[in-house]
Amino acid sequence: MQTQNSPTVVCFRERTFIFWRNTDTGAGGSPRHRSEFGDVVWQEFIDGEWVFPGNPTIYSYETMAFAADGVAAAWSTREDALYIAWQDVTHDVVTRDVAYRASWMKLAKNPKFGYVWEERIGVIPSAAPGATPALVSDGNAIYAAWRNVENDHISWTWSVDGGSWFGPYTLTDRLTSAGPALAALGTSDLVMAWKGAGDDTWIWWSRLRDGVWGEQQAFTDREIHANRPVSLWSPVLG
């Protein structure tokens, strides 16, 4: 599941987390709970209320270590880990060049401290997303897909542990002005959905089976009149 400028809710084991882009400064009443504009903030749903994660073995601050418009999140049951990914935009102050990357982090079990965010922020090689990427797990691998910032085509990749990403592979038969969504139906069995590019307001979809994406098909009875990504619900597999 992923969102652009909207909250992302994800289940991880018996816990439920929400991530969103902060639009105010000083979100909390103390330095420990204070975030800057654009920072990604998160909370946990406990006893009917959203609260800042207070377990230091999970994360002792509500503010993540990066700023982004939104995040994607997926639970890898094979690894027993939670992945999040986002569009990372950097500006060169000298050349004024802008670089786009797909970055990711992983919440995994540490033998000494329990479940903690790994300090390393990973990057999906050669990915230049024009918006928040989509992320999903089929119980065996993690898949990511995104709109390419330079041409609106959709690219995708996959990894079994975040250490090595295959591809990315560009799907030149499909275009989007918003970004794709992903859902997993089974091992190596995914569905992708997206809004068309430019004036194309139809919702399109395609299915991945055994590593091959099928032809794109349009829902001619439904449209999106905004450059917003669609959403797909994916069950926990594995």
Domains of the chain, first to last: 70-223 (2.120.10.10)
- Residue 134 has phi, psi (to 5 degrees) of -95, 150
Judged by average pLDDT, the poorest of 6-20, 28-42, 83-97, 184-198 is 28-42
pLDDT over threshold 90, residue 182 = yes
The alpha carbon of residue 20 and the mean position of all alpha carbons in its chain are separated, in whole angstroms, by 12
Give me 119's structure tokens. 């300090």
Q: How many CB atoms lie within 10 A of CB 40?
A: 22
Three-state DSSP at 208 gives strand
Distance CA 234, CA 61 (A): 28
Residue type, 112: K
pLDDT over threshold 80, residue 115 = yes
Q: Which residues pair with 88 in a beta bridge?
A: 101
Beta strands at 166-175 and 153-159: parallel, antiparallel or unpaired: antiparallel
Give me the chain's average pLDDT, please: 85
Distance CA 144, CA 192 (A): 11
What letters, b where the CB count within 10 A reaches 16 and e where it falls short, cover 51-60?
Answer: ebbeeeebbe
The pTM of this model reads 0.87
